[in-house]
Amino acid sequence: MIGLGTYSITGAEGKNALKKAIDFGYRMFDTAVAYGNETVVGEAIGEKIREANGLSREDFFVISKLSGTHHRQDLVEKCCRMSVDRLGLDYVDLYLMHTPVAQVCADSTATMADLTTTIDDTIDPLEAWVGLEKCYAEGICRTIGVSNFNEKQLNTLLSEGTIAPAVNQIECSVGFNQSSMREFCQKHGILVMGYTPLGKRKLPFLNDECVKRIALTLGKSPAQVCLRYLVLFLYRNPQTTPGNKKI
Q: What residues are annotated to the active site?
A: 35
98 is annotated as contributing to ligand binding: yes
Neighbours of 151 (CB within 10 A): 14
- For residues 114-131, one letter each, b for 16 or more C-beta atoms within 10 angstroms of the residue's C-beta and e for the rest, the string is bbeeeeeeebebbebbbb
Sign of CA dihedral 39, 41, 44, 49: negative
CA-to-CA distance for 128 and 72, rounded, in angstroms? 6
Which is nearest to 83 in space by CA: 43, 110, 56? 110
DSSP 133-185: HHHHHHTSBS-EEEES--HHHHHHHHHH-SS--SEEEEE-BTTB--HHHHHHH
Q: Which residues are annotated as a binding site for substrate?
A: 98
